[in-house]
Each structure stands twice: as structure tokens, then as C-alpha cells.
Amino acid sequence: MAWILLIVAGLLEVGWAIGLKYTEGFTRLVPSVLTGLAIVASMLLLGTAAKTLPIGTAYAVWVGIGALGAAVLGVVLFQEAISPLRILFLGMLLVSIIGLKATSGAGH
């Protein structure tokens, strides 16, 4: 269950990271409120997952999901630059997230 909470926390991190762009410096009410709620929910779920999972693993996976998701959505939603090397490094980030899960211990 901790891993599910951690994945949802990571997805919420993607949501608030992308939401920051839509807040326009927290000058737009609805995007600002939604981004704030996503930040709080993401942190609460990360904290709950970290009760069971090692904090280093939980935090690294949470940040990794957020970074990977924000980078991919930046390309899709905001036409940010993409290059073969950027794809390679994003792929390495995905492999790192999977590797942390795979080596975190069978009990978790």
C-alpha cells in the first residue's frame, strides 16, 4: 500500500509542478488553489508512505516521478525542447525509479 501512496504522491507532484505554470506567479485564483491542494496532498501521501518505506527511497522515487512527469508534460503541453540526449536521460531517470522499487526489499 505504501508504494501505491507514493506513486499517487508522485503524480500529484507532477500536477502541482505543471500547475505552477498555470498560476502565473500565484496571480490566478483557481489554478493557485488547485496547485496548493496538490502540494499539500502530495506531501501528506509522501509522509504516509515514508512511515513504511525508507525515506531515501521514498523521497528519491517521489522526486523522480515528479521530475520525469513534469519534463514529459513540459514537452507535450508547453512545447519545451526535446533532444535525443534529453530522452536518454529521462529514460535513465525512469530506469532509476524502477530500480529503486526493485531493490527496496520484498517486504515493501
In a domain, 50, yes or no: yes
User: pTM here?
Assistant: 0.89
Give the domain extent around 71.
2-102
Structure confidence by residue, pLDDT tens digits, 43-82: 999 999 999 999 999 999 999 999 999 999 999 999 999 9
Residue 104 confidence class, pLDDT cut points 50, 70, 90: confident
Domains: count for the chain: 1
In a domain, 20, yes or no: yes
In a domain, 108, yes or no: no
More confident residue, 53 or 105: 53
Contacts of 46 (CB under 8 A, 6+ apart): 6, 9, 58, 59, 62
How far, in Å, CA of 31 to CA of 21, rounded?
9
pLDDT value at 42 more than 60: yes
pLDDT value at 105 more than 80: no
* Burial letters 13-48, b for 16+ CB under 10 A, else e: bbbbbbbbeebeeeeeeebbebbeebbebbeebbeb
